[in-house]
Structure 1
Amino acid sequence: MVDTPPALPPVLSSPVPSPCVSLCKMNRDSGLCEGCLRTLDEIIAWGKADDDFKRAVWAQLPHRDAMLDFD
């Protein structure tokens, strides 16, 4: 049996995967999608964006989680 190496984190992968989790709901207060934590502008730009842009967005996602109140 061959060991499979662990998958690269999204910020190191190429092409950079989308953070979309198919839970599309924009939060009125923060302007962020409650599923992927991206702004509407980032979601629109994603398809044509380069990997540097996508990695920059991924880097912001952990900080944005605190901006949303899921209660």
Structure 2
Amino acid sequence: MTTVPSPCINWCDINPDNGFCRGCYRTLPEIADWSELSNSDKLEVLEKLKARKPQASE
């Protein structure tokens, strides 16, 4: 089975207003735990990112 790739774009900056990374829109726990997550858990995080990205304020 192929591993789900990280959404990281190497722009790591946590927005203090919403707690999301301005580059990938993950939270710090999601970033820290990424390598330990199962593929299904990674896919769940990626689904959450779709909803967060347009809502994230810069």
Structure 1 stretches of 4+ with a deviation exceeding 4 A read none
Question: Which position in structure 1 is the counterpart of 2:19?
Answer: 31
TM-score, with structure 1 as normaliser: 0.75
Q: Percent identity?
A: 38
TM-score, with structure 2 as normaliser: 0.91
Structure with the greater alpha carbon radius of gyration: 1
Kept in 2: contact 1:26–1:34 (CA 8 A): yes
RMSD, aligned α-carbons: 1.4
Structure 1 range deviating more: 31-40 or 58-67:
58-67
Equivalent residue runs for 1:43-54 within 5 Å? 43-54=31-42
- Unaligned stretches of 5+ residues in structure 2: none
Residue 42 of structure 1, aligned match among 30, 33, 41: 30
**Structure with higher helix content:** 2
- Unaligned stretches of 5+ residues in structure 1: 1-12
Number of paired residues?
58
